[in-house]
Amino acid sequence: MATYSFTVRIIHWGMAVLLLSLLLAGLTMVRSLEPWQPALLGLHKSLGTIAFIAVITRLSARLDSASPGLPQAMHPLQRAAARSSHLLLYVLMIALPLSGYLMQSAAGRPIHVFDSLTIPTAFPVNQELYGLFRETHFALAASLAVLVLIHIGAALHHGLVRRDGVLQSITLPKGKLDKA
């Protein structure tokens, strides 16, 4: 059975945890005005920056290594849907942190990455742009959340119902990390 490269698989699962954490933090922040909200926002910005770097790294690793083919038994429409959804996942994983950065720039807030690196704003304060990028960031996050749920559902369908090796191509078999 063909699998993704070890690097791609490690980045995939690390990003899965990171993206779910970012989505949950984002939902928590917009629904709360608690005293801890600014600290969570700072963490969200730092992790969002790391997610952006990770997706670029992942895309590079994915383009640098062969991907296992989809099962021949899959309908051509399902193959097209799988390829399109993966492409859309990458687009959203790139666009979401960029929209967050642009939103913060429009508000005049540089991004402080774990208080060790500062990414300056891209342009002067602009409340209209801030509103636009805030709505865009939310819409992209909601789209990513829906697509992630579809992705998880499809992976489970392949792993538990079809048993066609698609899920196994991205999972890390027991003992694999011990040998790395």
Tokens of 178: 């011990």
Q: pLDDT, tens digit, for every residue of 70-82?
A: 888 899 999 999 9
CA Rg value for the chain: 18
Q: pLDDT, tens digit, for every residue of 106-126?
A: 999 999 999 999 999 999 999
Query: In the prediction, which pLDDT does 14 show?
Result: 94
pLDDT higher than 70, residue 67: yes
Give the C-alpha separation, 51 to 14, whole Å. Answer: 9
**pLDDT band at residue 47 under the 50/70/90 scheme:** very high
Q: Please check whether residue 2 is in contact with residue 164, taking contact to mean a CB–CB distance below 8 angstroms.
A: no
Query: In the prediction, which pLDDT does 162 show?
Result: 92
pLDDT higher than 70, residue 26: yes
pTM confidence score: 0.90
Give the C-alpha separation, 95 to 20, whole Å. Answer: 16
Give the C-alpha separation, 108 to 14, whole Å. Answer: 31
Question: Which span out of 19-28, 87-96, 155-164 was modeled with the highest average pLDDT?
Answer: 87-96
